[in-house]
Amino acid sequence: MEKIYVVNLRGEREPFSFKKVYKSAKNAGASNQLALEIAKNIEREIYPGISTAEIFDKIHNYLSQKAPISAIRFNLKKAILNLGPTGFPFEKFIAKVFQSQGFKVKTNQFIQGSSKIKYEIDFIAKKDNFFYIGECKYHNLPGGRVDLQVALANFARFLDIKEGKTLNSNFNYKSILVTNTKFTTQAIRYSKYVGVELLGWKYPMSQSLEKIIEENKLYPITILPSINSYLAHLFIERKIILVKDIFKIDSEKFAKENNLSLNKIIKIYQEAKLLLQNG
């Protein structure tokens, strides 16, 4: 069969991958049989120049028909994009991720470096005598990458902070750069060389951001089908960032206080319950 080229989110041509489609459906929770069926159907439907975004929509539509919970999980990357448009909700979301790993986290802290410059730190995560100085790089458009320039700036700032007098010398400090997208090869190579940890989409392979989210069911509220941008903003303002946070609210009270339909809140509650029980 002649190779068919598709256009990825960065506008680049690449060969269509049957395996990628299969793995995408499988990773969302589809059975082997369903994932194979979806991949075969899409292989028949594609055409030269089709966008990977359109392929994504096709996979999602098939999952919605055959495995609704898998369809919700499949939307994880898009759900994180929908936390925006600013990076502030993403920083709060990442704080929740680190808290699930046993860290005590503070966001938006100011630390002075040896240059006397005060830096705003996205988050500081502490466990025992170990601290992460964390920088979040959020992209609200698909296809973004964290490149070498970002990695260079992050480490330069970390060195200035480390050489200053603010940090307690009895503790161990490490820089970590977090993103909701991917890192370029150069950013990875440089960060490894200088000892900066990276956390992003599909990186590191053993414990990437999406794997941590899936394993701990740390789904952002924007993953639920009934959450539109208005409701997302409303929930995030009230510190309801994760799907599991929804169970902390009194449905009737929340609906009344925010002039919302109780049925709408009940539907969101039901979607959350289904996802967490089956996700």
Query: In what order do the strands lie in the sheet containing 118-127?
Result: 104-112, 118-127, 130-137, 172-179, 197-199
Residue with tokens 């994880």: 76
Tens of pLDDT, residues 119-164: 999 999 999 999 999 999 999 888 889 999 999 999 999 999 999 9
Tens of pLDDT, residues 157-211: 999 999 998 888 889 999 999 999 999 999 999 999 999 999 999 999 999 999 9
Residue ranges of domains in the chain: 5-74, 88-216, 219-278
Q: Identify the pLDDT of residue 19.
A: 96
DSSP assignment of 228-255, as one string?
-HHHHHHHHHTT--BGGGGGGS-HHHHH
Q: Identify the pLDDT of residue 85.
A: 85
3-state SS assignment for residue 183: strand
Q: Does domain 219-278 sit in CATH 3.30.450?
A: no
pTM of this prediction? 0.91
According to CATH, what is the number of the domain 88-216?
Answer: 3.40.1350.10
